[in-house]
Amino acid sequence: MAKTSKHGTAERGSRVTMRQIVIVVVIALSVWFVLANTGTTSIRFWIPEVEAPLWFVLAGTFVVGALIGWLIGRNRRPR
């Protein structure tokens, strides 16, 4: 059971932050968007053109964007 302070709120380690809520919402919306788009698409990598399922392209784009965001956030100096 989480310990509470004298004001009746849970200690810092057990609270859900706004950042965590936003991350969960973005991931849920991204998963929904990927699953809603299941067609096939053409992708041009400068010269070669490949056919791929749209869900695969969207999921890959999301993963690459999340990785870049994580790397940028990790390299920030603490305030």
Position 5 in a domain = no
User: Could you count the other beta carbons within 10 Å of the beta carbon of residue 55?
Assistant: 17
Could you give the number of structural domains in the chain?
Answer: 1
pLDDT tens-place string over residues 24-59: 998 899 889 888 888 999 988 888 898 999 988 888
pLDDT band at 22 (very low <50, low <70, confident <90, very high): very high
pLDDT band at 77 (very low <50, low <70, confident <90, very high): low
Q: Which domain holds residue 49?
A: 18-74
CA 10 from centre of chain = 27
Global pTM reads 0.59
Position 40 in a domain = yes
